[in-house]
């Protein structure tokens, strides 16, 4: 049995990067950027008015002049004009280029206009640069604005659009096949007999992967039948970039999967991890066309597979996509907790900040079974180390949010 | 000029709830649940084995019996069997119903099987209920498992699937029209002249709304032309459930929007809020067929419109969808900060937890312009109150993450 950290490293060491593809910017939301985005010109590209008002030569104001005849309008989207007489001014609109010969914008609130002349209130503080966003102050041409590895959200969209990237190079979505197993499972639409339960694992794991940005998922179900399992595994290995299985991998009589995977050429990297839930976790690799197809066989209990998906599969997919690693979140335990087994514990918790900016994790009530009914009231889990039994109020642990 | 809190309340007081619709479960991810989800039967529906092993009558073990001839196999998905002789046992698989006459499951690791007889290692602690998830221990029939107002994520999918909900009642997505304005803007694919910039506001706001679960958005652009603005506003008011405008609402000569909205029957609720960025924020209502269509006219500066979208529009949409209010996050300032204007400040920050579980907010470097180039390095903003100038290291503020 290996540790959580060993399992994590063995998975990480066996991953290939996903290929890239070029997408329309508006279809790239949630994808990982795989090219640097560079400024195509200095920004702002001109001295830009940040207010509506008048543009003047501030030195004229310093010399005591307060009334300026208006000689024209500088509007956003028009070529820069030039002020030839510093005793006059331009009306100017937010976003317009500052006219040559001017160096300050005085806002509407500080002026009065009568008969084509703007008078600046004498209490106004005017200095060069007032109301001006100077050309090149945000970035120079060729500067890297976004590095590869960024997840594309709205703010990355803003930058890409501003530099004219209608298309971006991103990580391709892997084809992920999700397989549930077990004869006790019936379709969601069926009314189960007392000894049956509805099949929810595949839908739940798919939903979590979609929420994490890996939307190219297909759901499958395998009965506890040796021949069917072996044939299906053969097909799935050919059709997957990543294979996620829930159930059928433990020590039960009908757990045909480890053998079926081996028979079909997949190589086990490890099985059995000192953790709860998820001890039977199996990880392997299938080599196909020079690529390593990772196979995650998760225990079939719904909360186990859900937890292992968040602890191992989603981070692995993020690494394959070359997404920058998210910073770890640390969180304080709100109640003391004891756990005797020599296993790392993934403990579902609800999380809140107090008025002091501290993150507190409240574990599930002690008597709940870890079923989804109680897990649905939590926001993620903390990882409690395996070499410790008692965890005190205020002890700090690593937190993994549900997707 | 009204305060941020007054603006927030005036918006909230003028919102109608979105109608509901019934969706396939797998299409409901990200939507707000509008019906309670009830347990259709007690869960688990039977005494369920949580381990692979043998099922015995624990009292026989207590009386000193350690070897049990195997009389059959209890597999997951088969009807419960009955053990008639407590000196014998069933082999049992995880997920199977516990046979009648048995009350404990001893795991594979603690037994050895020879010639059809399982022998339990003498050091094993056996008591009634070992390895059994008791019927009805998670919930009783008719119990509310999820209340309306939940956002449907993977864990809600797990519960819906387990109770047979192939379809769920959720909030309908509002049709949101997003309008950018300004003659200085050119298409993303164009090469702008020095006095022009590319149109990014509509793409950015759409991306933020989509990321927040409001994906039914359309993008539009209006030039600074009075007649076009007036005609377009008339059409947009007929076609929108929510209208979001960026720019054209301040005191500039070409800011035709406030008047065009009024001329077309929209009623202003407020304009001007004591905040930076976003002072010119305009909010109004258009009544159509007994419904109130909210209109958010945000300042045209990209960071202003992005900030106001997160501070006002996304929370308003969540309220319309009847989403449970998310708990507020409080966060500590990592560096002292001064801000003299009598305005609430929305300050972009990057956020991290330290090893003590405390959330720290680091503001943008002091000299940056608040342009997207720097905002893209942040994860959200904190709201600094308007009646204070100096904010000390460690002072705690409300945090709003970027979507």
Is residue A108 within 8 A of residue A122, CB to CB? The reply is no
Identify how many contiguous H helices and E strands chain B contains and give both numbers.
9, 28
Interface check for A43 against chain B (CB to CB < 8 A): the answer is yes
Using the Cα atoms of residue A351, residue A354, residue A360 and residue A364 in order, give the sign of their dihedral: negative
State the pLDDT at residue A327: 87
What CA–CA distances, in Å, run from A307 to A284, A365, B314?
A: 18, 18, 30
The distance in angstroms from the start CA to the end CA of chain B is: 28
Contacts of B52 in chain A (CB under 8 A): 250-253, 255
Interface check for A279 against chain B (CB to CB < 8 A): the answer is no
Is residue A212 within 8 A of residue A319, CB to CB? The reply is no
Q: Output phi, psi for B20, to 5 deg.
A: -105, 165
Contacts of B277 in chain A (CB under 8 A): none
State the pLDDT at residue A55: 98
Q: C-alpha angle A243/A304/A327, rounded to 5°?
A: 80
Contacts of A91 in chain B (CB under 8 A): 253
State the pLDDT at residue A396: 97
State the pLDDT at residue B370: 58
Residues 290-349 of B with CB under 8 A from A: 300-302, 306, 327-332
What confidence category does residue B301 fall into, taking pLDDT thresholds of 50, 70 and 90? confident
**Better pLDDT: A224 or B320:** B320
Contacts of A360 in chain B (CB under 8 A): 357
Provide the CATH topology of domain B48-133.
Answer: Molybdopterin biosynthesis moeA protein; domain 3 (2.170.190)
Whether residues A211 and B373 touch (CB distance < 8 A) is answered with: no
Q: Determine how many CB atoms are found less than 10 A away from the CB of residue A231.
A: 14
- Residue A109: closest C-alpha in chain B: B251
Using the Cα atoms of residue B112, residue B115, residue B118 and residue B119 in order, give the sign of their dihedral: negative
Q: What is the mean pLDDT of chain A?
A: 94
C-alpha dihedral, A152 to A158 to A162 to A165, nearest 10°: 30
> Quick check: A117 pLDDT over 60?
yes
List every span in chain A annotated with CATH 3.40.980.10. 4-19+172-320
> Quick check: B252 pLDDT over 90?
no
- Residue B42: closest C-alpha in chain A: A194
Q: How far apart (Å, rounded) are the C-alpha atoms in residues A47 and A137?
A: 9
**pLDDT tens by residue, A30-58:** 999 999 999 999 988 899 998 899 999 99
Residues A86-95, mean pLDDT to the nearest whole number: 94
Contacts of B188 in chain A (CB under 8 A): 25, 161, 164-166
Looking at domain B4-19+174-320, what is its CATH homologous superfamily?
A: MoaB/Mog-like domain (3.40.980.10)
Contacts of B30 in chain A (CB under 8 A): 211
Contacts of B75 in chain A (CB under 8 A): 183, 224, 253-254
Residues B7-23, mean pLDDT to the nearest whole number: 98
> For chains A and B, what is the number of CB pairs under 8 angstroms?
316
Whether residues B182 and A253 touch (CB distance < 8 A) is answered with: no
> Quick check: A366 pLDDT over 70?
no
Whether residues A52 and B252 touch (CB distance < 8 A) is answered with: yes
Q: What percent of chain B has pLDDT over 70?
A: 99
Burial A252-287 (b: 16+ CB within 10 A, else e): bebbbbbebbeebebeebbbebbbbbbbbbbbbbbe
Interface check for B289 against chain A (CB to CB < 8 A): the answer is no
Q: Output phi, psi for A206, to 5 deg.
A: -60, -45
Interface check for A82 against chain B (CB to CB < 8 A): the answer is no
Whether residues A203 and B94 touch (CB distance < 8 A) is answered with: no
> Quick check: B195 pLDDT over 90?
no
> Quick check: B366 pLDDT over 70?
no
Contacts of B46 in chain A (CB under 8 A): 194-195
User: Which region among A13-17, A213-217, A310-314, B276-280 has the lowest average model confidence (pLDDT)?
Assistant: B276-280
State the pLDDT at residue B369: 57
**pLDDT tens by residue, A271-282:** 999 999 999 999
| β-bridge mates for residue A176, sequence order | A217, A242
What confidence category does residue B367 fall into, taking pLDDT thresholds of 50, 70 and 90? low
Looking at domain B21-43+138-171, what is its CATH homologous superfamily?
A: Molybdopterin biosynthesis moea protein, domain 2 (3.90.105.10)
**pLDDT tens by residue, B66-93:** 999 999 999 988 899 999 999 999 999 9
Q: How far apart (Å, rounded) are the C-alpha atoms in residues A340 and B213?
A: 42
State the pLDDT at residue A99: 97
Is residue B183 within 8 A of residue A75, CB to CB? The reply is yes
pTM for the full model? 0.91
| β-bridge mates for residue B337, sequence order | B391
Whether residues A331 and B357 touch (CB distance < 8 A) is answered with: yes
> Quick check: B114 pLDDT over 60?
yes
Interface check for B2 against chain A (CB to CB < 8 A): the answer is no
Q: What percent of chain A has pLDDT over 70?
A: 99
Of B46, B153, B193, the CB nearest to A211: B153
The 3-state secondary structure of chain A reads CECHHHHHHHHHCCCCCCCEEEEEHHHCCCCEECCCEECCCCECCCCEECCCEEEECHHHHHCCCCEEEEEEEECCCCCCCECCCCCCEEEECCCCECCECCCEEEEHHHEEEECCEEEECCCCCCCCCCCEECCCCCECCCCEEECCCCECCHHHHHHHHHCCCCEEEEECCCCEEEEEECCCEECCCCCCCCCCEECCHHHHHHHHHHHCCCCCEEEEEECCCHHHHHHHHHHHHHHCCEEEEECCCCCCCCCCHHHHHHHCCCEEEEECECEECCCCCEEEEEEECCEEEEEEEECCCHHHHHHHHHHHHHHHHHHHCCCCCCCCEEEEECCCEECCCCCEEEEEEEEEECCCCEEEEEECCCCCCCCHHHHCCCCEEEEECCCCCEECCCCEEEEEECC
Whether residues A371 and B330 touch (CB distance < 8 A) is answered with: no
Best residue in B137, B376, B383, B394 for a mutation probing chain A (most A CBs within 10 Å): B376
What confidence category does residue B51 fall into, taking pLDDT thresholds of 50, 70 and 90? confident
Take residue B42 and report the two structure tokens written for it.
């007690």
Contacts of A320 (CB under 8 A, 6+ apart): A15, A16, A17, A18, A171, A174, A242, A294
- Residue A250: closest C-alpha in chain B: B52
What confidence category does residue B353 fall into, taking pLDDT thresholds of 50, 70 and 90? very high
Take residue B249 and report the two structure tokens written for it.
């609402």
Is residue B168 within 8 A of residue B22, CB to CB? The reply is yes
Take residue A206 and report the two structure tokens written for it.
């798919």
Of A138, A189, A353, the CB nearest to B373: A138
Is residue A228 within 8 A of residue A222, CB to CB? The reply is yes
List every span in chain A annotated with CATH 2.40.340.10. 329-401
Contacts of A254 in chain B (CB under 8 A): 75-76, 93
State the pLDDT at residue B364: 84
Q: Which of A141, A76, A143, A146 is nearest to A105 (CA)?
A: A76
What confidence category does residue B365 fall into, taking pLDDT thresholds of 50, 70 and 90? confident
Contacts of A373 in chain B (CB under 8 A): 39, 43, 138-139, 145, 159
Residue with structure tokens 């801000």?
A: B339
Q: Is residue B159 helix, strand or coil?
A: helix
Residues 113-132 of B with CB under 8 A from A: none
> Quick check: A251 pLDDT over 80?
no
The distance in angstroms from the start CA to the end CA of chain A is: 28
**Better pLDDT: B256 or A250:** B256
Residue with structure tokens 């890996």?
A: A214
Provide the CATH topology of domain A4-19+172-320.
Answer: Molybdenum Cofactor Biosythetic Enzyme; Chain A (3.40.980)
Whether residues A45 and B76 touch (CB distance < 8 A) is answered with: no
Whether residues B198 and A161 touch (CB distance < 8 A) is answered with: yes
Interface check for B373 against chain A (CB to CB < 8 A): the answer is yes
**pLDDT tens by residue, A280-327:** 999 999 999 999 999 999 998 899 999 999 999 999 999 999 999 888
The nearest CA of chain A is from the CA of B385 a distance in Å of: 15
Is residue B251 within 8 A of residue A91, CB to CB? The reply is no
**pLDDT tens by residue, A220-245:** 999 989 999 999 999 999 999 999 99
Looking at domain A329-401, what is its CATH homologous superfamily?
A: MoeA, C-terminal, domain IV (2.40.340.10)
């Amino acid at each position: 049995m290996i540790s959580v950290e060993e399992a994590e490293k063995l998975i990480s060491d066996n991953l290939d990067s996903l290929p890239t593809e070029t997408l329309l910017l508006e279809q790239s939301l949630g994808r990982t950027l795989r090219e640097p985005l560079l400024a195509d010109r200095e920004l702002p590209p001109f001295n830009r008015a940040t207010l509506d008002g008048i543009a003047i030569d501030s030195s004229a104001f310093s010399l005591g002049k307060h009334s300026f005849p208006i000689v024209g309008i500088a509007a956003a989207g028009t070529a820069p004009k030039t002020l030839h007489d510093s005793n006059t001014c331009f009306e100017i609109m937010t976003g317009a280029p500052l006219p040559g010969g001017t160096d300050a914008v005085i806002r509407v609130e500080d002026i009065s206009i009568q008969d084509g002349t703007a008078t600046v209130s004498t209490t106004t503080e005017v200095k060069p640069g007032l109301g001006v966003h100077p050309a090149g102050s945000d970035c120079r041409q060729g500067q890297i604005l976004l590095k590869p590895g960024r997840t594309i959200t709205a703010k990355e969209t803003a930058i890409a659009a501003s530099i004219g990237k209608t298309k971006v190079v991103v990580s391709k979505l892997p084809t992920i096949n999700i397989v549930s197993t077990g004869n006790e499972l019936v379709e969601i639409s069926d009314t189960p007999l007392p000894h049956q339960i509805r099949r929810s694992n595949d839908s739940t794991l798919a939903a979590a992967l979609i929420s994490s940005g890996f939307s190219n998922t297909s759901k499958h179900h395998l009965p506890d039948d040796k021949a069917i399992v072996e044939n299906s595994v053969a097909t799935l290995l050919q059709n997957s970039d990543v294979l996620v299985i829930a159930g059928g991998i433990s020590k039960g009589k009908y757990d045909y999967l480890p053998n079926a995977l081996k028979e079909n050429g997949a190589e086990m990297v490890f099985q059995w991890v000192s953790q709860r839930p998820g001890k039977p976790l199996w990880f392997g690799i299938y080599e196909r066309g020079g690529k390593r197809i990772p196979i995650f066989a998760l225990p079939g209990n719904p909360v186990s597979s859900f937890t292992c998906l968040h602890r191992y599969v989603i981070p692995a997919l993020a690494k394959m996509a070359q997404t920058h690693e998210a910073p770890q979140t640390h969180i304080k335990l709100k109640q003391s907790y004891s756990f005797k087994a020599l296993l790392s514990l993934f403990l579902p918790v609800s999380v809140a900040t107090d008025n002091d900016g501290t993150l507190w994790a409240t574990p599930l009530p002690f008597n709940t079974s870890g079923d989804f009914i109680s897990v649905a009231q939590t926001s993620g889990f903390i990882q409690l180390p395996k070499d410790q039994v008692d965890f005190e109020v205020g002890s700090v642990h690593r937190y993994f949010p549900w997707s």
